[in-house]
Amino acid sequence: MTKLSQYLEHVFSYFLHNELTILSIALFITLAIFLISWLIEPRRLLNGILFTIFGLTFLAWFAVLIFSQNNQALNYTFGSLAIATMFGIIFLVLFSWVFFLWNAYFVWKYESHTLPNLLTLFISLGMIFIWIIERIGLLNNLPQWVNLILSASIFIALYLAFVMYNFLINLLLYQFVPRHYRQDYLIVLGAGLIQGKKVSRLLGARIDRAIAFSNKQYDKGKKRPKIIMSGGQGPDEDVSEAFAMKEYAVSHGMPEEYILLEDNSRNTEQNMAFSKKVATSDYGSEKFKAKFFTNNYHLLRAGLYAKAVHLKANGVGATTRLYFLPNAIIREFAGTFVMHKKRHFIVIGLITLFFIAQAIIILLGNGKWRMI
C-alpha cells in the first residue's frame, strides 16, 4: 500500500506541475476523435456528445493557460467573463418563458393558427403554470413518498434537456457538412402546396437552393446534376408536390431534361427511400453521389431518415425566417425523439422505477404500506 500511495502521489504531483501539457494532449485527442467521427458519418448523434467533451476539454485547457500566466488583470478578466457567462445562462433558463411567449406572438401574427405552430405558446404557459404552483406551495404538504415519486420528473426533465441539447449541437454541426460539388443527383424534399397547386415560400427556398447548387457545380466545370423532385399528392392537393416543384424549377431556369420526379412519397422517410430508387434506376447502380435539400431546421432529421434507408447523402439547408425557427426546431426534436423512442423510454422508465422503489422503501420503513 505504501508503494501504491507513493505512486499515486507522484502521479498527482506530476499533474499539478504539467497540467497544461496533459490537457493539451487531451485536447488534441478529443478533437481528433470528434473530427474522425463527424467526417466519417456526420449523421451520427454521438457526434454531439463527442463535440461537448472536446468543448469542455478546451475550456479547461484555456482556463489553465490563462491562470498559468500569473497575470492578475488577465485572471480577473477571465474570471469575470466566466461568472458573467454562468449568470447569463441561468438568467436565460429562468426567463426562457418570456422568449417563448414573445416568439408565440410572432408565430400567431404571421403564421397559420395550427397546433404545431402554437408549441412555444403551450411551453410558455406550462412554465408559468409550474411557477405559480411552486409559488403558492401546493406541493409543500404532500407525504414524503409522494414527493419522492414527483422528484423523478425533475430527473426526467434533466434527461430530456440533455437530449435536447445534444440534438441542437448535432443540428448546428450538420449545417457545416462539406458541400462537395461533384454530385450526380440533388434530392429536393417536398412540402405542402398552397391552394393545392402552388409552391410555398418555404418549399421554394429548398428548390432555389438546389438550383443554385446545380448551377455552381456546372460553373466549376463539372457535369450538371439531375434534380429529383420528391413529394406525392396529398388529399387536399390538385397535383403532386413533385409536379408543382418541377413547374417552379423550370420557371426559374432549370432545364426540364435535368429534372426527375418521385411522386409517391407521403413523409420524409419515403422521400428518401423512393428517391433512392429513382436515382438507382436512372444511374444503373447505387454508387451515385447525392445531396438532399430541405430547410435548415429539418436537415438533421432528414439526414437520419436517409441513413435509416441506407441512402448515402447529406443535406444542404435552405434558410428559414428566424421567428419560425423555435417552433420548427421543437417539432424536429420531437420527431427525432420519436425515431429513438425505445431508447429514451427505457431510460425514462429506469429513472421512474428507481424513484418508485425508493418510495416503496420509505413506505415499508414507516410501516405505512398497508395504508395505501
Residue 267: which CATH number? 3.40.50.620
* pLDDT tens profile 165-193: 999 999 999 999 998 999 999 999 998 88
- Taking alpha carbons only, the member of 257, 243, 293, 245 closest to residue 272 is 293
Please write down the long-range contacts of 23-32, taking CB distance under 8 Å and 24 or more positions apart: 23/57, 23/60, 23/61, 23/64, 24/61, 26/57, 26/61, 27/54, 27/57, 27/58, 27/61, 30/54, 30/57
Q: Is 253 left (phi over 0), alpha (psi -120 to 50) or beta?
A: left
**74 and 196, same structural domain?**
no
In the chain, how many domains are there? 2
Alpha carbon distance 63, 113 (integer Å): 48
CB 44 within 8 A of CB 37: yes
pLDDT confidence bin for 152, thresholds 50/70/90: confident
- Whether 305 is covered by a domain: the verdict is yes
Q: Which of 93, 113, 131 is the last residue of a domain?
A: 93
pLDDT at 20: 77
Asked if pLDDT for residue 288 goes beyond 90, the answer is yes
Angle at 295 between CA 293 and CA 299, to 5 degrees: 70
- Return the C-alpha cell found at 86: 454562468
Residues in the chain: 372
Contacts of 324 (CB under 8 A, 6+ apart): 107, 111
**Residue 70 φ then ψ, to 5°:** 55, 35
- Stretch among 30-39, 100-109, 345-354 having the lowest mean pLDDT: 100-109
- Whether 344 is covered by a domain: the verdict is no
Q: Scan for cell 445534444, then name that residue.
A: 166
**Percentage of the residues of the chain whose pLDDT score is greater than 70:** 92
Task: Find the domain containing 315 and state its range.
Answer: 185-322
pLDDT confidence bin for 130, thresholds 50/70/90: confident
- Whether 147 is covered by a domain: the verdict is no
**189 and 89, same structural domain?**
no
Q: Which of 322, 338, 353 is the last residue of a domain?
A: 322
Q: Which of 93, 115, 130 is the last residue of a domain?
A: 93
The pTM score is 0.85
pLDDT at 197: 86
**Residue range 318-346: mean pLDDT, rounded:** 92
Asked if pLDDT for residue 371 goes beyond 60, the answer is no
